[in-house]
Amino acid sequence: MYKGREFDLVPETEEVCNWWASLEGNNEFAEKELVKNNFVKSFTALMTKYHGAKLDSDFNFNDFDFSAIKDHLLREAEIRKARSTEEKNLEKEEKLRKENYYNYCLFDNQVEKVANTLVEPPGIFRGRGEHPSAGLLKHRIVPEFCSINIGQDDPIPRCDVPGHAWKRVMENKDATWLANFRDERSSFAPSKYVFLAAESKLKGENDKKKYEKARTLKSCIIRVRESYRRAMESNDSVANQLGVCTYLIDKLALRVGNEKGEDEADTVGCCSLRVEHIKFPSECEIELNFLGKDSMQYLNTVEVDPLVQKHLRKFCEAKQPNMDIFEKINAGRLNDFMKESMENLSAKVFRTYNASHTLQTELNKGQINNEKDSVD
């Protein structure tokens, strides 16, 4: 309804109204101011595109009433719920039949399971944490957005959407993804990848390599820690920043952090920490508060080495809240510094090593008293 009268929608706008009607009033996500503002912006543009002539030049989102659609969706949900077990099983079997064609592939002449074969449906973008694009419209993924990675002479997987074709079919032996895609009509949408399942030979080999790197770090962790300690004790300010960054990555499992574009979430890693993200509650503590990977808040107060706190206070001196703490280094320079201590050392290797070490320490605390005791 628009201003109290019925309003005819085209399929493109009806679909979006269905999405909003299913959220409005019964989902706290839809109550967020950011989400509503973003949705109204997307909705206004869409309605103007398809129904501009039927709308007032200054039409207001609040003039729309979605209650009739809500009632319809509730009735449909009740009908689906009331189906017999036989009907539900038939639908499930049909769904599996369609998916099974894509659920397995031949990899080095072995049948391997594929991890994720379904693209995300269109809808209202949620993101994770406090993503700045939450509430914007997520478009339908079409084959023209998808690249396929297969062997040079392998048969091309069929494209089941009439009138469409894959964006690109290629052979990249250095990549572990089978396909990738992104919503090319949305600047905020990240690329997504199709990989082999966790139990596949390739994934198992990659996991093994990851843990072997962590074992290598275990054998030289003392040398690595002495190296970044020397950097912190030097008279060179760049070395000081590299040493403190590596210390934080080792002790707090922080990610390195890269520069972000204006349309990306303002997520932060070690190199991109700003003065506003740190406080000094006492002589030997720091408090970090920032949005990390997937816009999840990292809030932690920890005791640190006195030299680390001394450097951090100095790095923050006479700087505005929005200025970088580690302005003299970047992710590339920090990764190069780590590799001076150990080949292929990175923040990820520190996280794998420290997590594995923590698990082993906790397991060692347990005592198995009889055969019935489990690892749990």
Question: What pLDDT, on the 0 to 100 scale, is given for residue 147?
Answer: 96
Question: What pLDDT, on the 0 to 100 scale, is given for residue 370?
Answer: 67
- The mean per-residue pLDDT over the stretch 266-277 comes to 90
The predicted-structure confidence for 277-305, as pLDDT tens digits, reads as follows: 999 999 889 999 998 887 788 999 999 99
Question: What pLDDT, on the 0 to 100 scale, is given for residue 368?
Answer: 65
Q: Which residue has the higher pLDDT, 248 or 117?
A: 248
Query: How much of the chain, in percent, has pLDDT values that exceed 90?
Result: 67
- The mean per-residue pLDDT over the stretch 149-174 comes to 92
Mean pLDDT of the chain: 90
Question: What pLDDT, on the 0 to 100 scale, is given for residue 260?
Answer: 55
Q: Which of 63, 65, 51, 55 is nearest to 20 (CA)?
A: 65
pLDDT at residue 261 above 90? no
Name the pLDDT band for 313 (thresholds 50, 70, 90).
Answer: very high
Name the pLDDT band for 266 (thresholds 50, 70, 90).
Answer: low
Question: What pLDDT, on the 0 to 100 scale, is given for residue 28?
Answer: 86
- The mean per-residue pLDDT over the stretch 62-67 comes to 92
Q: Which of 266, 269, 274 is nearest to 312 (CA)?
A: 274
CB burial readout 301-316, b (16+ within 10 A) else e? eeebeeebbebbeebb
Residue 257 to residues 104, 224, 268, 331, Cα–Cα distance (Å): 35, 21, 6, 6
Question: What pLDDT, on the 0 to 100 scale, is given for residue 376?
Answer: 67
Query: How much of the chain, in percent, has pLDDT values that exceed 70?
Result: 95
Question: What pLDDT, on the 0 to 100 scale, is given for residue 262?
Answer: 47
All domains of the chain in start order, with CATH: 11-81 (1.10.10), 97-194 (2.170.11.10), 201-364 (3.90.15.10)
pLDDT at residue 235 above 80? yes
Compute CA 363 distance to the chain's CA centroid, rounded to the nearest angstrom. Answer: 30
Question: What pLDDT, on the 0 to 100 scale, is given for residue 65?
Answer: 94
Report whether 242 contacts 347 (CB < 8 A): no
Distance CA 247, CA 305 (A): 9
Structure tokens at 22: 């299913």
The predicted-structure confidence for 104-136, as pLDDT tens digits, reads as follows: 988 888 999 999 888 889 999 988 777 888 999
Question: What pLDDT, on the 0 to 100 scale, is given for residue 73?
Answer: 94
pLDDT at residue 263 above 80? no
- The mean per-residue pLDDT over the stretch 256-285 comes to 81
Q: 224 exposed, middle or buried (CB, 10 Å; 0-12, 13-18, 19+)?
A: buried
The predicted-structure confidence for 19-64, as pLDDT tens digits, reads as follows: 999 998 877 888 899 999 999 999 999 999 999 888 887 788 999 9
Q: Edge-to-edge, what's the strand order for the sheet holding 168-170? A: 168-170, 146-149, 179-181, 192-194
Distance CA 347, CA 256 (A): 6
